[in-house]
Amino acid sequence: MIKRSFFGFAKPCLKYESIAETLPELEKISTPRKVTLLLTTSLGEKAEALPIKEGDKVKTGQKLTSDDDDGTYVISSVTGTVSSVSSYLGDFGTSYAAISIDVAQNEEIDEEFEKCSKKPTLDILKDYMVCAPGSPPVELFYNLEKPIKTIIICGYDNDLLVTTNQYIIKSYIDLLKAGIVILKETTGVDDIVVVTPHSLKQDYGQIEAEVKTIDTTYPSASPHMIMQKVTGRALPAGNSFEDLGICFMTAEAVASIGRAFGNGQIPVRKTLTVIDKDEGIKLVSARIGTSLKHILYELGITLNEKDRIILGGPITGSSLYSDDHPIMPDTCAIMIQDSGKIPPISDYPCINCGECIRICPARIPINMLVRFLEAGQYEEAADNYDLYSCIECGLCSLVCVSKIPIFQYIKLAKYELGRMSVAEEVDE
Amino acid sequence: MSNQKKFIVSHAPFWHDGSSITERSYNTMIAALPAVLFGIFQYGLPAVAVVSFSVSCAIFWELAMNFVTKRSLTIGDGNAALIGLLFAMLVPATLPWWAVLTGTFVAVIIGKQIFGGIGSNAFNPVVLAIAILMVSWKDLFDFDEALLNYDLEFTMLYPIAALKHFGTASIESFTAGDLLLGKQTGGIGATFGLGLIIGGIYLIIRGFIRWEICLTFLFAVFATALVFNLYDNVRFAGPVFHILTGYTLIGAFFLATEDSSSPVNFIPMLIFGVGAGVLTVLIRNIGAHVDGVIYAILVMNLLNPVLDKIRPKAIGKVG
């Protein structure tokens, strides 16, 4: 954990982890006896309405669709029999169907994708690659109102200690290059930028994209900061990156595309960083849907009562209440925090010390903002105190003397305002 | 699921830099110690009595208010103790017990708690309490009268009161070196310039107070006093005298920098410091009061919310 320096007048400087010199070995996690796949679906609460039923046999790489209006699906990462289908509610009201599969001994590969993998098109990407490791955001290319003009590939993870995408660049640079070629062909977007730490720049060699280096200080790898670096302008508050024609992808997503069309199989193994209780880093590869319990067991990390399990990194991750939670296509890291190391929180009010003001990369008047957020006055906060300028880096909460969960307040406010605007649209 | 382990589920970020209000309060008190100890050394047991009674009273009032308002106990954060200590530093060593009791009541209850507790006070609680006592019992802060029974090894005159009433001729016996080393009468913890400066530098280095406020305050006192002095050096004392006497140093490092009543943005902090400094000398030189620091800080506290509206544009802000 990063502690306040004795010389507190200086701004704390949080550095990203670098694996440029010592490439850690990738530990392969064995296939567990049971995997759980989370299917995003509006039918989440009526899981029995899904076409996939208990007892169905599935093959590795088979597409399990939800049959709802959005056409969502998951790719089975194993061969086996569906043992249960239930609904699951995630953070901020996301509803999922949790499909558990008992793994069979012999693996069979579904051949549907291989047939059409000879000639990649955008439709094939949309139909098969959305749940590949790294979750390529293919649906963005189907929005005719907001055409994508630039693809930015992040070779740097936007959280401290997380090195998944650096590893991908270091180890699978050829797959990344192949993925970029496919992306160019299928999407027709010529402007592709790869952002990377300076230390990895020499690894690229010949590549059909522009390579830009970014600073190693947190939060320079956050999408907002990258955009400012790449395009020279900031994202106008309240807009999304798609509005400006920019699409962000992780290096892993692009490498997955390269791998899939290279060998005719949808990749089912996710690379992720595991941060143990002493903040040591291990890179592992596990099948999507493997429970955290299984991964931690194989790595020999024991979990005790009142520890904390975090999906993602220490600053922007989200904590879980169960170690049965599976890893998902977009899970970059798992972090385990010992109960003794969990910092206390308090219900103190803001004392106006100004630490957050000085550290905020977005120059938001957080000392004022937090007062409105605590009182639930979200609209006032958005209108007068720059709520929508927040780039969600979490630094304000990290340095808050009163230990106010400012970051959580901001996310909650954005979520509530989003719900309110949806409700208003429905009324109209 | 019955043997499922229970985990702590909470919001990001999962790290914290470990800073706390308690740490801030106690460090500010440590920084104040050199000046307080010097005051105790100079004035003896009466000073010990005032300091300890003031700190205990402040804690008591905070505790009482916690019970009355049925809130969780907040005395552990050290803020009440700090208020008590700073209050004691500003008053003469012979202040009667009832004045300490009343003063800390005003500081903790009226200055802080009725606004909603820590962080919500519009005025610096200590400064407000001193101002109210000064208005209500003027004689209590007549340092010459209060310290009549003391005969230390230097001129027993309150320097800025002497200046006010008798002009620069009366202060010729004070050299800058003597003033810096505390050879002057005044509040228990307000006279030892060197100690206050060391404490202030400690707080600036540790990041508990902002240099923007204290340095601009001192600079403004210096500049304004210099202008007056150049204009008429018979009536108005020089800048060094103004910096080393009265409440200037304790005001710069311990009073003006109070978190809740001072700005947080860069330019507002500069304006805040300059404003307080200029007002201090104006009140001293052409106003009715002997010392201007208290009222200058109160006025700037009042302006603080307006000042803090001057802030940099957030990224991506439209219009």
* pLDDT tens string B155-203: 888 999 988 888 888 888 889 999 999 999 999 999 999 999 999 999 9
φ and ψ at residue A375, rounded to 5 degrees: -90, 0
Are B39 and B87 in a shared domain? yes
Q: Which of A263, A293, A319 is the last residue of a domain?
A: A263
pLDDT digits (tens, 9 = 90+) for A146-177: 999 999 999 888 899 999 999 999 899 999 99
Are B176 and B284 in a shared domain? yes
pLDDT reading at A2 higher than 80 = no
Q: What angle do CA A76, A80, A85 make, to 5 degrees?
A: 70
Are B76 and B184 in a shared domain? no
pLDDT for res B1: 44
Minimal Cα distance from B260: which residue of A? Answer: A352
Domain assignment of residue A288, given as a range = 271-341
Are A42 and A95 in a shared domain? yes
Are B197 and B301 in a shared domain? yes
Which of B3, B5, B15, B202 to mutate: most A Cβ within 10 Å?
A: B15
What band does A45 get if pLDDT is binned at 50, 70 and 90?
low
Are A334 and A359 in a shared domain? no
pLDDT digits (tens, 9 = 90+) for A320-364: 988 899 999 999 999 999 998 888 888 889 999 999 999 999 999
pLDDT digits (tens, 9 = 90+) for A92-127: 878 888 999 999 988 899 888 888 888 899 999 998
Are A296 and A325 in a shared domain? yes
C-alpha distances in Å from residue A147, one per residue of A187, A242, A245, A320: 10, 8, 6, 36
Q: Which of B75, B106, B140 is the last residue of a domain?
A: B140
How many domains is chain B partitioned into structurally? 2
Contact A344, A403 (CB under 8 A): yes
pLDDT digits (tens, 9 = 90+) for A257-302: 999 999 899 999 999 999 999 988 999 999 999 999 999 999 999 9
Query: Is B149 inside any structural domain?
Result: no
Cβ of A236 under 8 Å from any chain B Cβ?
Answer: yes
Cβ burial A134-156 (10 Å sphere, 16+ → b, else e): bbbbbebbeeeebebebbbbbbb
Distance from CA of B272 to the nearest CA of A (A): 15
Domain assignment of residue B251, given as a range = 157-306
Query: Is A346 inside any structural domain?
Result: no
Q: Which residues of A touch B119 (CB under 8 A)?
A: 348-352, 402
Are A365 and A325 in a shared domain? no
Tell me which amino acid residue B253 is. F
pLDDT digits (tens, 9 = 90+) for B248-282: 999 999 999 999 999 999 999 999 999 999 999 99
Interface of A with B in 150-169 (CB under 8 A): none
Are A222 and A133 in a shared domain? yes
DSSP labels for A342-356?
PPP---PPP----HH
Are A132 and A240 in a shared domain? yes
pLDDT for res A44: 54
Query: Is A313 inside any structural domain?
Result: yes
Are A239 and A376 in a shared domain? no
Give the number of A-B residue pairs with CB atoms closer than 8 Å: 188
Question: Could you tell me which residues come within 8 angstroms of residue B230 by beta carbon, excluding any fewer than 6 positions away?
Answer: none
Are A183 and A214 in a shared domain? yes
Distance from CA of A334 to the nearest CA of B (A): 13
CATH number of the domain that residue A320 is part of: 3.10.20
Contact A321, A88 (CB under 8 A): no
For residues A198 and B204, which has the higher predicted lDDT (pLDDT)? B204
Are B227 and B182 in a shared domain? yes
Q: Of B212, B298, B215, whose CA–CA distance to B263 is shortest? A: B212
pLDDT reading at A196 higher than 70 = yes
pLDDT for res B319: 60
Are A259 and A276 in a shared domain? no
Cβ of A291 under 8 Å from any chain B Cβ?
Answer: no
Query: Is B249 inside any structural domain?
Result: yes
Query: Is B3 inside any structural domain?
Result: no
Query: Is B191 inside any structural domain?
Result: yes
Q: Which of A212, A229, A263 is the last residue of a domain?
A: A263
Q: Which of B93, B108, B140 is the last residue of a domain?
A: B140
pLDDT reading at B284 higher than 50 = yes
Are B131 and B161 in a shared domain? no
Are B238 and B200 in a shared domain? yes
The pTM of the full predicted model, rounded to 2 decimals, is 0.91
For residues A58 and A427, which has the higher predicted lDDT (pLDDT)? A58
Are B193 and B301 in a shared domain? yes
Q: Which of A69, A84, A106 is the last residue of a domain?
A: A106
Query: Is A259 inside any structural domain?
Result: yes
Which of A279, A363, A373 to mutate: most B Cβ within 10 Å?
A: A363
Are B60 and B166 in a shared domain? no
How many domains is chain A partitioned into structurally? 4
pLDDT reading at B89 higher than 90 = yes
pLDDT for res A315: 93
pLDDT digits (tens, 9 = 90+) for B135-162: 999 889 999 888 888 888 888 889 999 8
Are A99 and A119 in a shared domain? no
Contact A34, A99 (CB under 8 A): no
Cβ of B10 under 8 Å from any chain A Cβ?
Answer: yes
pLDDT for res A47: 67
Cβ of A4 under 8 Å from any chain B Cβ?
Answer: yes
Inter-chain residue contact A305 with B259, CB threshold 8 Å:
no
Interface of B with A in 61-80 (CB under 8 A): 72, 77
Inter-chain residue contact B14 with A345, CB threshold 8 Å:
no
- Quote ipTM for the complex: 0.90
Are A96 and A122 in a shared domain? no
A150-154 and A191-197: which strand pairing?
A: parallel
Are A146 and A195 in a shared domain? yes
Question: Taking all residues of chain B, what is their mean pLDDT, rounded to a whole number?
Answer: 93
Query: Is A5 inside any structural domain?
Result: no
Are B108 and B78 in a shared domain? yes
Are B94 and B200 in a shared domain? no
CATH number of the domain that residue A254 is part of: 3.40.50.11540
CATH number of the domain that residue A82 is part of: 2.40.50
Are B214 and B254 in a shared domain? yes
C-alpha distances in Å from residue A160, one per residue of A27, A216, A281, A407, B134: 21, 10, 11, 16, 54
pLDDT reading at A410 higher than 80 = yes
How many whole angstroms separate alpha carbon A152 and alpha carbon A175?
17
Question: Could you tell me which residues come within 8 angstroms of residue A188 by beta carbon, excluding any fewer than 6 positions away?
Answer: none
Q: What angle do CA A89, A342, A328 make, to 5 degrees?
A: 35
